[in-house]
Structure 1
Amino acid sequence: MRGAPASPSRPGARRRALLRSPALLAGLLSVAIALLCGLERAGWRVRWVDALERASLDQRFRWRGPVPTTGEVVIVAIDDATLERRPELYQRRAGTAALVRALAAARPAAIGIDQVYVDPEELLSPELGARIKGHVEKDMPVGAGPEGQAEALLREVARELTGDAELASAVAAAGNVALAIHLTQESGDGRPLPDPATLRHGRYGQQDARSPPIRIAEAGLVSLPELVARARALGGITVEEDPGRAVRTIPAAWRVGDAAYAPLSVQLVALREGLGRAELAFLGGEASLQIGARRVPLGADEAVVLNFRGGPGTFPTVSAADVVEGRADALLRGKIVLLGVTYFGHDVVRTPFAGDLPGVELQATAVDTILAGDPLVRSSALTDALVTLISGLLVSLLFAAALRAGPLARIAGVLAVIGLDVAAAALAFTRMHLWLALVWPLLAAVVAGSAALAAAYAGEALQRARLRRTFSSYLGAEVLDELLADPKALGLGGARRELTVLFSDIRDFTGVAERLSPEDLVALLNTFLTPMTQEVMARAGYLDKYIGDAVMAVYGAPVARADHAARGLATALAMHAALARLQPSLRQFGVEALQIGVGINTGDMVVGNMGSADRFDYTVCGDAVNLASRLEGLTKTYGVFCLVGAGTRAAAPPSYRFREVDLVRVKGKGRPVAIFELLAGPDGAVAEYAALDRWSAALTAFRAGDFAAARAHWQAFAAENPDDPVVRLHLGRLEGLGEAAPPDWDGVAVFHHK
């Protein structure tokens, strides 16, 4: 078989090289996908990959399931029960003030109000309210009678108009209330921000001046100045949805002017631990923020990546109605209390666990994440790229030629790598709170695996086509199909196997060639070799090569055959019959008759592709092959059609008949070998001899040195078979040996020519 050298300078050759090496193709694709992963993680967003990655993060939350909270956060809910039993707690500022006083009485560590009181409370029209307030502020005495009752009623109405002041007073009295502010980068999504000095309670005390917050507030919603002035702290409650409308992070800082403003969760943790503003630091350059001794890592977009504890109801929740009625003091004492709205259909967000999580529970999750010290950390771009590369390279190894894995094993291996990617991402998430990329490694495994499988199939198809082209002239269709079903034996290198080799050659071909023109000589050869080749292929032989007029065939390779010796012998008989049928057609070339000699030997030899990596032949080599070639040459000496070696004689079925011709030492061999003439088989006969018992007796006597007995037996055999050239050769040899055998006689004929 011939292999064409691969030239990397030709695109076609490069494509063929990739098809011949699916592992290389998978490796190159893995490197490319890893580079894309690094670019995407460094800022070049691929939307569909990002969406799938976030969806995979949600799935990791669901695989992990709900986890316990720290128990340090309690939600006071304006829920359906509050609206039913005590609606004024939500509908009136005075009611909210009463709720704040009730909360303060329970002595929580901090109170966070997840509401923004932007506008003054207006129970009456502003003009009427102002007139009533102006009237009662004159401090007129309240007398008896209708006028006094009217005055008392006006004073009572005036008190109802002081809800904002009552709420401000309650906030100031509590001393640990953090109010919410909403900041936005869209100027149309809010109101102009007040003087930054008004918002000083919301600032970080320290910030890295080299890396100010990336979010610049252009507008927002802030509570009334009297409320802001009396709050202990202000904190942002702005949430940002990803393209899938889910909330997974809390912005860590907003820039207003030159200052950085903290989220409500950070302010509540600081209040709980008694920290001043100077102990809060936003460190954008280090992707973290500092709350006293706590260091909170941030995501790439300066946000706290929330570690969700579960769905709605995960945090201890108490109705606001129960708080003002004094039934929740023990639950609230020493805790961070978040006051927010949870009644049906109000202020909900989508999270990994639910599509309707109340906004106040999102704030509770942020506080609990900071307290537990387990915010998710996104792995670096380099880490994700390396994990992606490893995933793809593991898949490429499955297609390494050394593994010799089948398609099912490779598919199972790709699935195993995918499972490994999923398991690694899940373990990193649950054990290390690490958000490790999953989509890119899976993409590398699937793309590299699919491409390698496709290349393997395409390469196999190309190999099958190449093998069919290469061997179609050397093998029969049936054997070729078997070879294509299992072409593994055709790699560069050889294997030691017992095989049978046949050589055939035209007698006196040089004399024939001298009488013919080159054109007639080629036509004669084609006429002769065609039927000879057909007989080889018809018996599952492999036509190794033509050597001028000679034919070399191998049996038992490349497809293993246990009866290779019988097939070689049957071919010799078929060649003998085909030559007889061919003789009349040779007269057109001026050739009356052709004679051929056949040598067959069976033994151990090396078979395989031999040569260089660029160009090689599928052939056999070894001492047994050389002997077969010598046997074909000896057919001229002995004047017989076919000589076989002892290995072929031993492996032949009982239906074949032989005559032992001689014991010879051919050129290149030190030990003598017995040679046999093929006489007949189940498909025909080559020669018939009478008195074969005399032939056997003559050989025995000859080797024993009893020349007289040997001569007598051979002369008797010659009388029965006067046309046998072999007996004439032996009788001639005896004439030159005399009457007595020399002392070192072994009966071996030595030949020094090929």
Structure 2
Amino acid sequence: MRRSTRNQMVIAAIALVCAAASVSPAVRPIRGLSLDILTALRWEVFGRRQDPAASPTVVIAIDEESLRTAPFKGSPMLTWTGEIGRVLAATLEGGAKVAGFDVVIPTSIEQSEIPFGDNMLGTKVRGFDRDFLRALAGATVNGKVVLGETLGGNQPVRPSAGQRIAVRQQQNIRPLNVHTDHDDVVRRMPLTFPINGAKVPSMAVELAARAMGAAPEFDKNGRMTLGGYRIPGRVPNTLTLNFEGGAADIPTFSFADLRNCAVKDDKDYFRRWFDGKVVIFGTVLDIEDRRMTSKRFATGIEGARTPRCAAESTPVSAAFRTSTIAGVYIHATAVNNLISRNAVVEPGPLSRFLIAAVFAALAAFAAWQLRPLVAATAWAVMVVAGIAGATLAFNHALALPVAEPFLASLMALASTIGFRFVVADKDRRLLQKSFALYLAPHVINRMLSSNKLPELGGETREVTVFFSDIEGFSLIAEKMSPDSLMELMNEYLSVMTDVIESHGGYVDKYIGDSVVAVFGAPADDPDHAANAARAALDCCTRLAELNASSALFHEHKLAQRIGINSGEALVGNFGSRRRFNYSVMSDAVNLASRLEGANKFYGTTVIASETTVALAGDAFAWRELDAIRVKGRNQALKIYELLALSTGLGASRQAPIAHYADGLAHWRAREFELAAKCFERSAEIDRPAQLFSQRARKLAENPPDKDWDPIRTLQEK
């Protein structure tokens, strides 16, 4: 099996395993986080999606205000029944479709056997619950009241016997139990409960069914349909709750205020706020019946926020926001979801696995193709984009998974990076480490990315060749011991190589004290000429620093000569079938070598061809030295001395350059006397000017023939 095929199979396996792990039972406790996160993000991004007044359900809250207001202050809830009946009757008379009770009053004060005077307390207060029971019985006739019970074990918590009789027993009593996930968070509501072999609807389903005037229907798979709405649910026999954010999504009325409103017989108020609504009585207290839900990151400060009816009581709001909500809002949300047909739709196991697999595959691919830091950044961008898309989908009640793709992609990213480091990149690192001292990094990377061994052959491309040599090296070598010479050259060549490579050059070879480098290969570089010129200037600067600071250079000050030439060259692997080097071959290389040698004649440090000068541009200060023919070439060319960056040329150096240019112009016009005078102005400080002044004086004294050619032929290499 080819290594590339093996690696591809491993990456695919990593993605699949990580995706499978993210949807396995082992991570079930964090699976519900997707709903929690999406609920919070939707609230932060989109805010309130509808007017609370449009809510099909309202809550009558037995709240802190009710507990602190007369006549309820200091009285147990057993004694509130008459007033509860009064408020119930007022809401139904105001047009409420149906009323449900999330609060269970399991006993009656009329049943008390506590001695009181010469009889029992229950006997003394016989008939205390009459008004409440009459209100329940009256509402039962039209099917407008549903009492709640809590199932559990063999002792369910049910309303008192009188209440059960008033509502015709189980005909109008429904379970209040909710579905709790493994992390003790409520995200779903049961649809039915098996009681005595029958499917009994939950409180929420019963209230929604009566409000809509439709009975629940079941298909052969047990899926419920209510009023033509097929209720979605990933967990069988449940509805996934679609909570709004904040605390004002369901209108809430304080029971104490409504009681005072009923006493005043303000029928207009009840018609205005309860006509056509589903009413749920429940406790909204700081410590009682509080549940953690998928709304836990998007809750608000609870309290009665609707316009008040009476002024006899004082509103009491919670002082701070908590992560829990009162249980009555769970039932109210479920009723709203059923009536509005906007329960959350969750993808099934296969869909969640496929989504997680896509994210894991993308993360693994990024980790395989990119450096770890870049891959991690790409993964973060991918996760943010995925969460943004999921938030947008959740705004339409589709809960795409968030936790599973995040976990799967994170595991795939880490696993792939680990695989690369331990297995796949082991050979790459060994090759890079082994050949880093022999080949350019660009050559190694190209060889590794091509996934094949280097072979003979090359390509033609435009490059700039850099050729340098040490002046008087033979004399220096004669005076030094071999060890000292090696130490000196190693430091010199190391510094020069670092400079060349820092400007994108590739050191082709070392020939004794000479350095042959190429710019523009093996990596493409459109600025190869300019980079070669910058490297030459920096090499001169670094050599001056070595001469001044390094102990090895104190006794032997080095001077170098550099030739630069640009042109087409054949670059690639040259040699025999068993041994070859990545190198460059063309006349451009030979010419660079000749230009390096020309420095010896002109007394300069860096000479470049006119081709290089044209490509490098105006960023450098050049001086035209001469027009020459080199050994082995018949074609003449102009050569230039590289002085400095154009911004680094001082005013003191500009005058000699101008004198030299004037002299060169007179020289080519056969005005040798004028040329000599121009050159002599700076001959004492400028070696090329001194050379040309001598040549001009000789020709002024012995004028040449008419066929004289102002081109210098250099025979030396």
TM-score range, shorter-chain basis?
0.5 to 0.7
Paired residue for 1:114? 102
Paired residue for 2:59? 75
Paired residue for 1:281? 218
Q: Is the 8 A contact 1:98 1:324 kept in 2?
A: yes
Q: Is the 8 A contact 1:492 1:608 kept in 2?
A: no
Q: Is the 8 A contact 2:89 2:135 kept in 1?
A: no
Q: Is the 8 A contact 2:234 2:347 kept in 1?
A: no
- In 1, Cα distance between the equivalents of 2:706 and 2:535? 32
Paired residue for 1:375? 343
- Cα distance 1:291–1:9, how it changes in 2: closer, same or farther (>3 A)? closer
- In 2, Cα distance between the equivalents of 1:367 and 1:611? 81
- In 2, Cα distance between the equivalents of 1:600 and 1:261? 96
Equivalence map 1:547-562=2 (5 Å): 553-554=516-517, 560-562=531-533
2:143 is the alignment partner of 1:175: yes
Paired residue for 1:125? 113
- In 2, Cα distance between the equivalents of 1:177 and 1:59? 34
2:334 is the alignment partner of 1:366: yes
CA deviation map 1:705-736 (0-9, x unaligned): 99xxxxxxx9xxxxxxxxxx979xxxxxxxxx
- Cα distance 1:370–1:33, how it changes in 2: closer, same or farther (>3 A)? farther
Equivalence map 1:377-456=2 (5 Å): 377-388=345-356, 391=359, 415-430=380-395, 432-443=396-407
Equivalence map 1:475-554=2 (5 Å): 491-492=445-446, 496-501=462-467, 539=496, 544-545=508-509, 553-554=516-517
Q: Is the 8 A contact 1:110 1:177 kept in 2?
A: yes
Paired residue for 1:298? 233
Equivalence map 1:254-269=2 (5 Å): 254-256=193-195, 258-269=197-208
Paired residue for 1:604? 567
- In 2, Cα distance between the equivalents of 1:289 and 1:169? 30
* Unaligned runs of at least 5 residues, structure 1: 1-5, 15-23, 134-152, 192-218, 475-482, 505-523, 571-597, 633-643, 677-681, 707-713, 715-724, 728-754
Q: Is the 8 A contact 2:594 2:630 kept in 1?
A: no
What one-letter code is carried by the residue in structure 2 that aligns with 1:111?
Answer: A
- In 2, Cα distance between the equivalents of 1:615 and 1:52? 61
Q: Is the 8 A contact 1:306 1:365 kept in 2?
A: yes
Q: TM-score, normalised by structure 1?
A: 0.55
- In 1, Cα distance between the equivalents of 2:572 and 2:413? 30
2:266 is the alignment partner of 1:327: yes
**Number of residue pairs the alignment of both structures matches:** 569
Q: Is the 8 A contact 2:108 2:160 kept in 1?
A: no
What one-letter code is carried by the residue in structure 2 that aligns with 1:553?
Answer: V
What secondary structure sits across from 1:85 in the alignment?
coil
- Cα distance 1:648–1:220, how it changes in 2: closer, same or farther (>3 A)? same
Paired residue for 2:250? 314
- Cα distance 1:601–1:253, how it changes in 2: closer, same or farther (>3 A)? same
- In 2, Cα distance between the equivalents of 1:343 and 1:530? 85
- In 2, Cα distance between the equivalents of 1:665 and 1:447? 65
- In 1, Cα distance between the equivalents of 2:347 and 2:276? 36
Report how far residue 498 of structure 1 moved: 1.4
Paired residue for 2:187? 248
What secondary structure sits across from 2:517 in the alignment?
strand
- Cα distance 1:249–1:551, how it changes in 2: closer, same or farther (>3 A)? same
What one-letter code is carried by the residue in structure 1 that aligns with 2:168?
Answer: A
- Cα distance 1:374–1:51, how it changes in 2: closer, same or farther (>3 A)? closer
- In 2, Cα distance between the equivalents of 1:384 and 1:545? 58
Report how far residue 263 of structure 1 moved: 1.2
Q: Is the 8 A contact 1:600 1:648 kept in 2?
A: no
Range with bigger deviation, 225-234 or 303-312 = 225-234
Report how far residue 370 of structure 1 moved: 1.3
Q: Is the 8 A contact 1:35 1:385 kept in 2?
A: no
What one-letter code is carried by the residue in structure 2 that aligns with 1:114?
Answer: D
Report how far residue 455 of structure 1 moved: 10
Report how far residue 376 of structure 1 moved: 1.7
Indicate which of 26, 32, 41 corresponds to 1:60: 41
- Cα distance 1:604–1:232, how it changes in 2: closer, same or farther (>3 A)? same
CA deviation map 1:429-474 (0-9, x unaligned): 22x1222222344446666677889999999999999767645578
CA deviation map 1:381-403 (0-9, x unaligned): 4544455455566667777879x
2:178 is the alignment partner of 1:239: yes
- In 1, Cα distance between the equivalents of 2:191 and 2:209? 14
What secondary structure sits across from 2:532 in the alignment?
coil
- In 2, Cα distance between the equivalents of 1:566 and 1:159? 109
What secondary structure sits across from 2:165 in the alignment?
helix
- In 2, Cα distance between the equivalents of 1:411 and 1:119? 62
Report how far residue 267 of structure 1 moved: 0.9
Q: TM-score, normalised by structure 2?
A: 0.58
Indicate which of 345, 349, 364 corresponds to 2:291: 349
- Cα distance 1:646–1:68, how it changes in 2: closer, same or farther (>3 A)? closer
What secondary structure sits across from 1:562 in the alignment?
helix
CA deviation map 1:49-72 (0-9, x unaligned): 336435424522541444434333
Give percent identity, aligned residues only.
Answer: 18
- In 1, Cα distance between the equivalents of 2:579 and 2:242? 62
Paired residue for 2:456? none
What one-letter code is carried by the residue in structure 1 that aligns with 2:392?
Answer: L
Report how far residue 363 of structure 1 moved: 1.4
Paired residue for 1:143? none
* Unaligned runs of at least 5 residues, structure 2: 301-321, 448-458, 471-480, 501-505, 522-527, 542-560, 597-605, 614-619, 640-684
CA deviation map 1:34-61 (0-9, x unaligned): 75445544655343x3364354245225
What secondary structure sits across from 1:378 in the alignment?
coil
CA deviation map 1:259-308 (0-9, x unaligned): 322111111111122234xx4337756xx521122222123354222222
Q: Is the 8 A contact 1:77 1:339 kept in 2?
A: yes
Q: Is the 8 A contact 1:417 1:445 kept in 2?
A: no
Q: Is the 8 A contact 1:555 1:565 kept in 2?
A: no
What one-letter code is carried by the residue in structure 1 that aligns with 2:463?
Answer: R
CA deviation map 1:485-511 (0-9, x unaligned): xx668643986321134799xxxxxxx
What one-letter code is carried by the residue in structure 2 that aligns with 1:307?
Answer: N
2:209 is the alignment partner of 1:270: yes
- In 2, Cα distance between the equivalents of 1:496 and 1:460? 33
Cα RMSD of the aligned pairs, angstroms, is 6.8
Equivalence map 1:700-711=2 (5 Å): none
- In 1, Cα distance between the equivalents of 2:115 and 2:540? 125
- In 1, Cα distance between the equivalents of 2:206 and 2:88? 18
Report how far residue 251 of structure 1 moved: 1.4
Paired residue for 1:520? none
What secondary structure sits across from 1:299 in the alignment?
coil
CA deviation map 1:179-217 (0-9, x unaligned): 223234xx3xx52xxxxxxxxxxxxxxxxxxxxxxxxxx
What secondary structure sits across from 1:377 in the alignment?
coil
What secondary structure sits across from 1:437 in the alignment?
coil
Report how far residue 113 of structure 1 moved: 2.2
What secondary structure sits across from 1:374 in the alignment?
coil
